[in-house]
Structure 1
Amino acid sequence: MTITHEPHPFTVRVPSAELDDLFARASATRLPDPIGDDDWSTGVPVSVLRSLLASWREDVDWGGLEARLAAIPQYLTEIDGQRIHYVHVRSSRPDATPLLLCHGWPGSFLEFLDLIPLLTEPDDAGARAFDVVIPSVPGFAFSMPLQGTDWTTERVAGAFVELMDALGYERYVAQGGDYGAGVAPAMGRLDPEHCVAIHVNGSIGAPTGEPDEDEIARSTEIERDRYRRVGEFMAEEFGYISIQSTRPQLIGTALTDSPAGLLAWMLDKFRAWSFPFDAEPDGRIGRRRILEHVSLYWLTRCAGSAAFTVYAADAGAWGAASERPTQPVGAIMFAHDIGIRRLAEAEYRVVHWTEVDDRGGHFAAMEEPEMLAHDIRTFLDGLD
């Protein structure tokens, strides 16, 4: 892959007319009548949507977010004709370790804002520091518009390998969760000379299918619970994957024209995948950050392309065997995660595995940034 346009600084600036349009549409939403008891069993309750739609303008200080983002170095480049947006924050420490962080869906680069200072400028002078690179996955946020339909996980990983090379990093670590937990190992497979280690939160070692009696017998209570939750997910929550993997343009059209639809679609997962289980939207992540993410998707019109990249671009390759990366792999499993170490070890050279059974979920960088930063350091320090 090649750089087809050299990196140049980028500042997030959204015209006020775009924001006014968003809030006007939100306030004019035509909501349906509740189904049944108006609880979460059939989707986001109408009462919850009504509350969030009414407070969207007050809860999201987009000007304040833009000011915060303006203090973080951001850039645009072009790789193989695809616009790539990325954050690049160098530590003041000359011995900093280069670290690429990759997000997933329904996340974005915004997930990592609280994590950046913890990694780049740790309070403990003896703690490892990092130069942090956070690209927006093609089809997400400011890595728009999506050019072509062949942005598979391997190709996205190849673009990020090229980005790290363009930034001059000869040795680096790749980290990710959700979709990013697929991109990080792919970077390792593609670039074994320069990618020296892989760290993931959740998303590896996930069980598939029903466990047999022998598997149940050797599983811990936590692992049996993970089998149970995967089974419930496949039975009750798989519908969004079917839609986004087969009809991303259809769902993209609906969500690009309806703030309420986009909010409901994303909020359903922010609630279901964060900890505590099934917390209301004012929980650990909080409505402000949820609405900031939904606003970012709305303002960049990326609902359909984000769905395509993560769920449709790899077509039938889901679950297909991949070459085992040679790098050491570290993983942290928070309370809402579903990975099982022995299953992960069948695919990766796992040398570090942390179990957290009382906190944290799918959105680790937002829910437990201190613990995530600590685990990345512990993993890498153990390799020295």
Structure 2
Amino acid sequence: MSFSTLPQNASLKPKPFKAHVSDDELKLFTQLVKLSPIGPSTFENETADVKDFNHFGVSRAWLSEAKKQWETSYDWRKTEDRINSYPNFTVPIEEDGFTFDVHFIALFSAKKDAAPLMLLHGWPGSFLEFVDTLDLLEKKYTPETLPFHVIVPSLPGYGYSSGPSTKKNFNTEGIASVCDKLMTGLGFSSYISQGGDIGSFVSRVLGATAPACKAVHINLAIGLTAEGNEVESLSQEEKIGLGRYGAFGEMGNAYARMHGTRPSTIGLVLSSNPIAQLAWIGEKFLQWTDVSPPIASILDSVTLYWFTQSFARAIFPYRQFFAPPATFFHNEEKYFINKPMGYSWHPKELAPVPKAWVAKTGNLVWYKGHEKGGHFASMELPEQFLDDMESFVGEVWPTVQK
């Protein structure tokens, strides 16, 4: 038996998927990268410190070096080979009158008591965030010993998943419904959802509204604020984290306000030029991480966005979060998670919200505060992320599966 063997009781019929762009597409892309200019030197881009929310953004020097690597040494075919080394599938799922062609990577277990675990990314992430974790699982377990069924979807509008519809509105609750239909259609009457970034909001909606979602783990809880003198009782690490949270709120979220209030404009602008998209997305991978990823890793993510035309399709959730009336779900009573919830805290998350604040939004039964790590938990420290998953799932699954 292999990791690609679907559960026997699956009602959906996923088709195997292979990532591949044509030679002509690849040639055109290489030409676009080569011909796309980098803007002139300015005081701002020559002195920019991307790790500082208050200091201008990505530097011209970094963008120039990344462009050089894209032109001369980067090989997308190697990345396609790595993607295709895992079991990839697509499956049609109908939601609100529109049929999504949903892409997902899966490692299916042969264990009867394996916990179905869905891992959800956000923006500017993708399923690529989890490939190092999948590598660890394949090395550590066989299909007969793997304790999880691991399902990693491309969210609707992202990567190799289609949508949303060009004729009607779509939102985070719709994403959650598609993800729930995916998991239950794969034969899982009970499952656990884990998410960061937009995936954390989707996981919250699932935990609060989907009967089959029995537990939720998140590593982002942006939108929560202090009440009264709550800050005084926090640890020194949490207070430092709130300083970072405050800097993001004041100077680090201009991109999100653009996504939320002018998605048409920014979507068209950044879909016209790969270097512009690299600057916009690359800044976030540099700024939101503890240790900056290698340029090649960032190029993987941006190249995926480019070839799948994801950028303009993927930013629709920001209208809920940053266009009035904005909501982050946490403070709405209907999205309180009564089921077991876990939370991993990372010091370089863009919003390192204290444990006590998260506990007000759900039944927080598991918590881990880390000394390292940022916004892209699985990508940055896959061993640490896997430890968290094994600990959380091992603790809650025996109590929630039915």
Q: Does 1:352 align with 2:366?
A: yes
**Residue 154 of structure 2: which of 136, 151, 172 is its match?**
136
| 2:100 equivalent in structure 1 | 82
**Residue 83 of structure 2: which of 69, 73, 79 is its match?**
69
Q: Does 1:223 align with 2:238?
A: yes
Q: Distance in 2 between matches of 1:123 and 1:84?
A: 27
Alignment check: 8 A CA contact 2:109 2:144 kept: no
Give TM-score scaled by structure 1 length: 0.89
| 2:376 equivalent in structure 1 | 363
Alignment check: 8 A CA contact 1:90 1:120 kept: no
Alignment check: 8 A CA contact 1:120 1:132 kept: no
| 1:157 equivalent in structure 2 | 176
Q: Distance in 2 between matches of 1:311 and 1:14?
A: 29
Alignment check: 8 A CA contact 1:297 1:303 kept: yes
**Residue 286 of structure 2: which of 271, 280, 300 is its match?**
271
Query: CA 1:372–1:236 in structure 2 vs 1: closer, same or farther (change >3 Å)?
Result: same
| 1:43-70 Cα distance to aligned partner (Å, 9 max, x none) | 3222211111111144432111212222
Greater shift, 33-42 or 324-333, is seen at: 33-42
Query: CA 1:177–1:246 in structure 2 vs 1: closer, same or farther (change >3 Å)?
Result: same
Q: Counterparts in 2 of 1:43-192, with a 5 A limit?
A: 43-80=57-94, 81-119=99-137, 122=140, 129-148=147-166, 149-192=168-211
Alignment check: 8 A CA contact 1:360 1:367 kept: yes
1:95 CA displacement = 3.4
Q: Distance in 2 between matches of 1:6 and 1:234?
A: 44
Greater shift, 295-304 or 320-329, is seen at: 320-329
Q: Distance in 1 between matches of 2:140 and 2:213?
A: 23
Greater shift, 212-221 or 159-168, is seen at: 212-221
Q: Distance in 1 between matches of 2:268 and 2:294?
A: 27
Greater shift, 224-233 or 359-368, is seen at: 224-233
Q: Does 1:251 align with 2:266?
A: yes
Query: CA 1:83–1:353 in structure 2 vs 1: closer, same or farther (change >3 Å)?
Result: same
**Residue 213 of structure 2: which of 192, 195, 205 is its match?**
195
Q: Does 1:333 align with 2:333?
A: no
1:83 CA displacement = 2.1
Query: CA 1:216–1:16 in structure 2 vs 1: closer, same or farther (change >3 Å)?
Result: same
Q: Distance in 2 between matches of 1:93 and 1:127?
A: 6
| 1:17 equivalent in structure 2 | 24
Letter in 2 for 1:21: L
Query: CA 1:215–1:300 in structure 2 vs 1: closer, same or farther (change >3 Å)?
Result: same
Alignment check: 8 A CA contact 1:206 1:344 kept: no
SS in 2 for 1:170: coil
SS in 2 for 1:361: coil
Unaligned segments of structure 1, at least 5 residues:
277-282
| 2:52 equivalent in structure 1 | none
Q: Distance in 2 between matches of 1:8 and 1:380?
A: 28
Q: Distance in 2 between matches of 1:126 and 1:332?
A: 29
| 2:221 equivalent in structure 1 | 204
Q: Distance in 2 between matches of 1:64 and 1:22?
A: 16
| 1:307 equivalent in structure 2 | 315
Query: CA 1:313–1:220 in structure 2 vs 1: closer, same or farther (change >3 Å)?
Result: closer
1:205 CA displacement = 6.3
| 2:35 equivalent in structure 1 | 28
Q: Distance in 1 between matches of 2:357 and 2:32?
A: 47
1:328 CA displacement = 0.3
Query: CA 1:370–1:260 in structure 2 vs 1: closer, same or farther (change >3 Å)?
Result: same
Query: CA 1:123–1:131 in structure 2 vs 1: closer, same or farther (change >3 Å)?
Result: closer
Q: Distance in 2 between matches of 1:184 and 1:162?
A: 14
Letter in 2 for 1:264: A
1:134 CA displacement = 0.9
Identity over the aligned pairs, expressed in percent? Answer: 30
Alignment check: 8 A CA contact 2:90 2:104 kept: yes
Greater shift, 91-100 or 232-241, is seen at: 91-100
Query: CA 1:212–1:87 in structure 2 vs 1: closer, same or farther (change >3 Å)?
Result: closer
| 1:178-208 Cα distance to aligned partner (Å, 9 max, x none) | 111111121122223x22211112x126543
Q: Distance in 2 between matches of 1:59 and 1:169?
A: 43
Q: Distance in 2 between matches of 1:19 and 1:104?
A: 26
1:323 CA displacement = 2.7
Q: Distance in 2 between matches of 1:298 and 1:57?
A: 15
Give TM-score scaled by structure 2 length: 0.85
1:39 CA displacement = 2.5
- Figure out how many residues of one structure are paired with residues of the other and give that number: 369
Q: Counterparts in 2 of 1:279-294, with a 5 A limit?
A: 283=292, 285-294=293-302
RMSD between superposed Cα atoms in Å: 2.4
